[in-house]
């Protein structure tokens, strides 16, 4: 089912938590809200669930206005980070619980529980209590309980945050596979950029109650619109330099040879940034910079300050005067104190706004 969020605001007293969020989530889409603590992700999710009412705006599900509808009328399931399992009930009874409330008959309940448990690899564990399960198994029981009644919309708030790194990686693929196979429209909240990138069809990057950019993971990575998005996604983050827009549509910055010719789409965007006095930045991902010999043609000479060998890749931190940035390369013999040439391929430089407020989408 499609979910439409239209100019939604939420205020708690004087505190503005959600500031006019608008987005259309498509039927069957896996939509991730990503942002730092306190940016309003959970509040937005809770308004979709009906656990919180908007101060203004409209939320519709499958075309019907649900802004003020009771949670139980929304055909939505929600899974939280703390699992919320009943410790004294078996896995079977935990999964069965939502069906019992809905007064399905015993045989129907058993069939659905077994079916869902099978899909989630819990078939062998139905008679255990939650205390006899691993973290990942508990997580799956919690998902099974949410999914057993075939909801049309699935909301998840940091469901993996209690798991260790290895299990998180396993569970994120399992969740993604599961809901994609079931075709359920999903909104997933996380502050973990890797999780967002790995799972999402589209990501909404949120900051201070706004969706700053909504796009596919690779679009967000390749073409972040604002400094906030550029710095939030990618590790180490994108290098950003204060830039100037020159006549003829070239953007330059303080580093010689770091220059980008704007294409048609970018011209409008750059003009919008300049008009909004937001400050224009030129950005490049660390792995797009190329290390060359000092003095090489088209390269900018830089002093190596620190080299971090990470095994597969190497981070090289450099400076040009008092401008500092980072390059990610394969293994290298470059060491601190060396002078190297750095090439920034013009087509891989990006125009980024220094100020979130000037970007509309």
List contacts with ligand ATP (CB under 6 A): 12, 15, 17, 35, 37-43, 191
Residue number closest to ligand ATP, CB atom: 42
The minimum distance between CB 42 and ligand ATP, in angstroms, equals 3
283 close to 352: Cβ distance less than 8 angstroms: yes
Our CB check for ligand ATP shows the closer of 21 and 302 to be 21
The minimum distance between CB 232 and ligand ATP, in angstroms, equals 13
3-state secondary structure of 324: strand
The minimum distance between CB 87 and ligand ATP, in angstroms, equals 24
Our CB check for ligand ATP shows the closer of 37 and 333 to be 37
Our CB check for ligand ATP shows the closer of 39 and 243 to be 39
Our CB check for ligand ATP shows the closer of 160 and 282 to be 160
C-alpha 190/C-alpha 70 separation (Å) is 25
CA 313 to chain centre: 24
Residue 98: DSSP 8-state: H
The minimum distance between CB 10 and ligand ATP, in angstroms, equals 8
Our CB check for ligand ATP shows the closer of 232 and 241 to be 232
The minimum distance between CB 356 and ligand ATP, in angstroms, equals 15
For 107-176, give the secondary structure using H, E and C.
HHHHHHHHHHHHHCCCHHHCCCCHHHCCHHHHHHHHHHHHHCCCCCEEEEECCCCCCCHHHHHHHHHHHH
64 close to 154: Cβ distance less than 8 angstroms: no
C-alpha 88/C-alpha 40 separation (Å) is 34
Helices (H) and strands (E) in the chain, counts: 9, 20
The minimum distance between CB 11 and ligand ATP, in angstroms, equals 9
Our CB check for ligand ATP shows the closer of 46 and 223 to be 46
Residue 294: DSSP 8-state: T
């Amino acid at each position: 089912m499609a979910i439409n969020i239209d100019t939604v605001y939420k205020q708690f007293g004087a505190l503005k938590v959600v500031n006019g969020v608008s987005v259309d989530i498509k039927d069957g889409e896996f939509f991730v809200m990503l942002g730092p603590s306190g940016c309003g992700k959970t509040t937005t999710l809770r308004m979709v669930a009906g656990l919180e009412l908007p101060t203004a705006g409209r939320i519709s599900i499958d075309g019907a206005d649900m802004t003020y509808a009771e949670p139980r009328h929304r055909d939505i399931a929600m899974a939280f980070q703390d699992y919320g399992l009943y410790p004294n009930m078996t896995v079977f009874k935990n999964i069965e619980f939502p069906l019992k409330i809905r007064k399905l008959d015993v045989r129907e309940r058993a069939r659905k529980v077994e079916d869902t448990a099978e899909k989630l690899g819990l078939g062998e564990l139905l008679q255990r209590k939650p205390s006899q399960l691993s973290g990942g198994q508990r997580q799956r029981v919690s998902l099974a309980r949410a999914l057993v009644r075939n909801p049309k919309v699935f909301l998840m708030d940091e469901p993996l945050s209690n798991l260790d790194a290895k299990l998180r990686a396993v569970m994120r693929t399992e969740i993604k596979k599961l809901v994609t196979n079931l075709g359920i429209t999903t909104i997933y909240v996380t502050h973990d950029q890797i999780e967002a990138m790995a799972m999402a069809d589209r990501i909404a990057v949120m900051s201070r109650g706004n969706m700053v950019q909504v796009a596919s993971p690779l679009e967000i990575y390749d073409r972040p619109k604002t400094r906030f998005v550029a710095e939030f996604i990618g590790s180490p983050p994108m290098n950003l330099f204060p830039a100037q827009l020159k006549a003829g549509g070239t953007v330059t910055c303080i580093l010689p040879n770091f220059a980008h010719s704007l294409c048609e789409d970018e011209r409008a965007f750059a003009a919008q940034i300049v008009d909004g006095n937001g400050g224009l930045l030129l950005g490049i991902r660390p792995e797009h910079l190329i290390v060359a010999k000092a003095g090489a043609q088209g390269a900018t000479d830089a002093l190596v300050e620190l080299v971090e060998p990470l095994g597969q890749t190497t981070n090289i931190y450099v400076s040009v005067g008092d401008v500092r940035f980072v390059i990610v390369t394969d293994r290298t013999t470059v060491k601190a104190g060396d002078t190297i040439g750095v090439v920034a391929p013009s087509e891989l430089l990006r125009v980024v706004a220094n100020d979130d407020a000037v970007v509309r989408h």
